[in-house]
Amino acid sequence: MMTLPNPILMHGLGNRFAILDLRGGGTLTDDGAKTLASQTGVDQVLTIEPGREADVYMGIWNADGSRVAACGNGTRCVAWHVLAETGGSRLVLETDASVLMATVSGDHQVSVDMGVPKLDWPDIPLAERMDTRFVDIKIGPIDAPILMAPTAVNMGNPHVVFFVEDIDSIDIPGVGPLIEWHPLLPEGANVGFATLQGPADIRLRVWERGAGLTQACGTGACAALVAAHRLRRLGREATVHLDGGDLHVTWRDDDHVIMTGPVAYET
């Protein structure tokens, strides 16, 4: 059995990753990813592998060993690491969700074209046909729910976003697991809690599917901007303030979502 390389530890706004460079060979199993996540205390485990349709392929596992198809902060970290090796400024990166373009946009800053969000109910997916701007999920008493009618967006992985007046009043570790695997969400979902702080500012916390409450979530930031614009509460561009720092997100007129933010190595 081939010995796996030592992990590269990186983070994007405190969203922590153990990255295995498998371009020289080797395979990571679900159990292996779960063990590595436990040993390193990271949110996700990523692999860099030879690309089939791109410069490299990125595999993604949550801390619980479940395989997922997209990770915005992880994409930025892997792109920076590979481009630092090559001296390039652009990388085409393949995930199980799509092929992405990443570009160096400053000192330890990377922009990623996250593609076109999926908004129809089968593409989230939801278990029933409904308007994805107002998903029929309620938490709390039937006559006075504390949370209701999130907006659903698929950014390569499924998200539901609740807009709340006071994000700090929400017991996210208490309600996040109740929503993560709600019966309307057959594949589970990342659960965002967002407060609009200005005409182009969103405060966001995310309970990530398979990882729990993290310092930042790149696809969650993209989903929050898309959801806010769909509800006509914001324009197509915003700074998203997460616990670990800020991401800038633009939903361009061609429907592609661009996410920009920092990356760092852990010592």
Instruction: State pLDDT tens for residues 1-26.
Output: 568 899 999 999 999 999 999 999 99
Taking the C-alpha atoms of residue 246 and residue 240, their distance in angstroms, rounded to an integer, is: 6
148-202, pLDDT tens digit by residue? 999 999 999 999 999 999 999 999 999 999 999 999 999 999 999 999 999 999 9
User: Which of 99-108, 136-145, 218-227 has the lowest average pLDDT?
Assistant: 136-145
- What pLDDT digit, counting tens, does each position of 80-115 carry? 999 999 999 999 999 999 999 999 999 999 999 999
Boundary residue ending a domain (113, 132, 161) = 113
Instruction: Kindly report the number of other CB atoms within 10 A of residue 224's CB atom.
Output: 32
Q: One of 33, 217, 227, 240 is an active-site residue; which one?
A: 217
Range of the domain at 222: 121-259
**Domain containing 231 — which CATH number?**
3.10.310.10
Rounded CA separation 205/164 (Å): 11
How far apart are the C-alpha atoms of 189 and 167, rounded to whole Å? 19
Which residue spans within 141-252 are E strands per DSSP?
Answer: 147-148, 151-154, 158-163, 190-198, 201-208, 212-213, 237-242, 245-251
Catalytic one of 46, 63, 71, 135: 71
Does residue 71 carry a catalytic annotation? yes
222 is catalytic: no
- Give the pTM: 0.94
Tell me the helix, strand and coil percentages in the chain, rounded to 5: 20, 40, 40
* Mean pLDDT rounded to a whole number for the chain: 96
- The tokens for 61 are 């596992």
Q: Which amino acid is at 230?
A: R
User: Would you say residue 266 lies in a domain?
Assistant: no
Q: Does residue 108 lie within any of the structural domains?
A: yes
Please report whether residue 3 resides in a domain: no
Same domain for 82 and 134, yes or no, is: no
